[in-house]
Each structure stands twice: as C-alpha cells, then as structure tokens.
Amino acid sequence: WSGQKESINVEGYWIPRGEFEPSEPEGYIMTDSVRRNLKDLTRVISLGRLPVLLQGETSVGKTSLIRYLAQLTVNKCVRVNNHEHTDLQEYVGSYAADPLTGKLAFREGVLVEAMRKGHWLILDELNLASSDVLEALNRLLDDNRELFIAETQETVRAHPRFLLFATQNPPGG
C-alpha cells in the first residue's frame, strides 16, 4: 500500500484507493467527534486488511462514517443489514434458476461478490446474525482471508482491497 496513486491520505493515514476519481462527499457534517472517529478508523485501516468492529448506540453514525470514508477513497461500499431472518445464503449465495436458460446456477451472495471485486462490506447489526453466518465468517477473519463455499466446493480468496466492517449496538443496550 505505497504510493500516492494507489492510496489516498485521510487524516494523516494512507488508505488504499478504489477505482474511481475521488470526490469530497457532500452533506456530511464534520464535527470534532466525527473527525476523531474518522481518524481512529483510518488509523486502523492503514495498518492492514484487518476486519473492523464499530460498536455504539443506535443512530450515532457508525455505518455513515464507513460509507463516508469509502466515498472519500472511491471504494465501493455494500451493506448487509442483519436480523433474525438473515441467512447464510444472502452472504454466500445459493442455487437459483438462470433467467435466460432456466438452468440451475449458483448465484453468489453479497459477501462473495465483495471479496472477489475488492469492495468494502458492512455487516450491520452483527450481533443479530445467526450462528451459521458467524461460523462462515470465521475463516475469513483469519489471516488467510478465505471463504469456503460448500455448495460449489470452491475456496474464494479476498481481493487485496476487500475490507470487512461490522457494526453493532452495545450488549444489553
């Protein structure tokens, strides 16, 4: 992650840039506390490709801070909102009929697509994710940054620009 063409300086830290031209996001209010949080987040991201968990009360701006930084560094950011009905298929994918041929084909989920294309992925309300989802994420959270897709028997390795973020409210909150 060296070189100005490959990275963008945010709050004194170099963040790998995405594929588009950078632009200052509009309508985001930069208060002192938001700037401190942004600096903390960029510091963590600049250290490497570590997964990041942001924990805080409802509506304090956890997700919007990540989206702001992604837009600033022209990285595509996608999100999964976890709830009691979110299942592993949404993350990894499932077999479905191809609309053109009618044949059964594996359609990759949001996690696999983000891993392949180097997108940033936000797992909102991670504490509401099912144990199946959490178990599937275990291998991805290791240093090897891999995900095994049982349905296709394929191991997907994360693109170097792929970043995983999770947000949640404090326990018991």
Q: What is the pTM of this model?
A: 0.88
DSSP 28: -
Long-range Cβ contacts of 143-151 (<8 Å, 24+ apart): 145/49, 145/115, 147/92, 147/111, 147/112, 147/115, 149/92, 149/93, 149/106, 149/112, 151/92, 151/93, 151/94, 151/95, 151/106
Angle between the 62-72 and 32-47 helix axes, to the nearest 10 degrees?
A: 60
CB 54 within 8 A of CB 62: yes
Give the pLDDT confidence of 116-131 residue by residue, as tens digits: 999 999 999 999 998 8
CB 116 within 8 A of CB 93: no
Give residue 83's pLDDT. Answer: 87
Question: Which residues lie closer than 8 Å to 88 by C-beta, 6 or more apart?
Answer: 130, 132, 133, 136
Give residue 91's pLDDT. Answer: 93
Helix (H) or strand (E) holding 10: strand 7-10
Give residue 173's pLDDT. Answer: 56
The Cα–Cα gap between 114 and 119 comes to: 5
Q: End-to-end CA distance of the chain: give it in Å, rounded.
A: 38
Show the low-confidence residues of the chain (pLDDT under 50): 1-3
Give residue 2's pLDDT. Answer: 42
Give the pLDDT confidence of 15-33 residue by residue, as tens digits: 999 987 767 778 888 899 9
